[in-house]
Amino acid sequence: MWVARKSFWQALLRAVRGLDKNEQLGLVMFVVGLTFLLAFARAMGMSFTTGTMFFAIFLLLLVSITRIRAELGPPAHDLHWAGPDEVLIAVFGPQGLPKRDLVVAKLFFWFNRAYRSLPCPHYLEGLKIAKDQKFTFVKTTGIMILSSVVAIVAAMLVHVYAFYAYGITAKFVGPAITAFGGEPFWRLQGLLASPPPPNPYPVRAMIAGTLFTLALMWLRASVTWFPLHPVGYAISTSWSMNVLWMPLFIAYLGKMGIMRVGGYRAFRETALPFGVGLVLGEWTVGNLWLIYGVARGIQTYAFWV
């Protein structure tokens, strides 16, 4: 974000001055959304100061992860237990925050546990497709908002129906059903019942990680052959990487070999379409298997995790 600070500032000036209607609409939606979030948190009982810090950290993570997806395109960016609730507790300690603020922060755990399902990267990719295909920004944004609302309502209805129809304890197993919902409350119970003393090590780790990332950025910009990307360091501890590192490593070796033998043209004309075909092929076959399983009432092979 520091590297793109000039672009952000120029976009803000264009929006304020009305030079770009699309960016002006984006700024208005940003202000309205942020105001609603702060008002909602305040109505739940969170103080304005804590709420401001909470959503400031969340927005920094949101923009950073979206930038990561746009710049490098990693298939997953979990960042488990790195949300604003954990950051505030690490910085101020559980005793340095009002108990009501701790409770409200943990009630926001559902969109801060991990960020592999963050919608913003998908929205950005949709806007990029719209720009390339000469679609209007307003129409595309409206379609994505409508799709999001329909998807949220549909997902809730499907889950409730499935739980009642098949039994949540009999048919639905695994941490996604039995553990994730209780995680924030188990954590909150410990923080309220026996709050740990201030721990300086998480803050030191954040500072060290920031400095190391800046060093990687400087090396990438200064040394042309330097192979390590700062994004790789940021997402290397994500849970999803334990099932993705080998496919990514194979893709890296294949890309490196094609680039050295055939050059960039061979990569663009041959390898890239082939890779996109592999992704679409897996997606298509995986969905067909799931549809077949639902239609027959049987458990089929699950693609992904």
- Residue 129: per-residue pLDDT: 85
| 64: in domain | no
249 part of a folded domain: yes
Pick the closest to residue 65 from 218, 238, 221, 202 (CA basis).
238
Model pLDDT for residues 110-151, shown as the tens digit of each residue: 899 888 888 888 888 888 888 888 888 778 888 888 999 999
Nearest residue to 237 (alpha-carbon basis) of 118, 109, 82: 82
118, 148, 166 - which closes a domain? 166
Q: What is the mean pLDDT of residues 161-186?
A: 76
For residue 265, tell me if it sits in a domain.
Answer: yes
Residue 103, classified by CB atoms within 10 Å of its CB into exposed (0-12), middle (13-18) or buried (19+), is: middle
Euclidean distance between CA atoms 55 and 116, whole angstroms: 18
List Cβ neighbours of 239 (8 Å cut-off, separation of 6 or more). Answer: 78, 80, 114
Task: Give a yes or no: residue 215 inside a domain.
Answer: no
pLDDT given for residue 71 in this prediction: 82
Q: In whole angstroms, give the CA distance from residue 286 to residue 280.
A: 10
Range of the domain at 142: 136-166
Mean pLDDT, rounded, for 28-40: 92
Q: What angle do CA 158, 142, 70 make, to 5 degrees?
A: 90
Mean pLDDT of the chain: 86
225-271 per-position pLDDT tens digit: 888 888 888 888 778 888 888 888 898 898 889 988 888 888 888 88
At 215 the pLDDT is: 92
Q: Is residue 301 part of a domain?
A: yes
| pLDDT for the residue numbered 174 | 66
The pLDDT, as a whole number, for residue 187 is: 87
Q: Give CA–CA dist 28/12, Å, rounded.
A: 11
Give the end of a domain, one of 151, 166, 181: 166
How many CA atoms within 13 Å lie on the side-chain side of 260?
6
Residue 234 is predicted with a pLDDT of 83
Instruction: Using DSSP, state whether 229 is helix, strand or coil.
Output: coil
pLDDT in tens, 274-305: 988 988 898 898 889 888 988 887 878 777 65
Domain count, the chain: 2
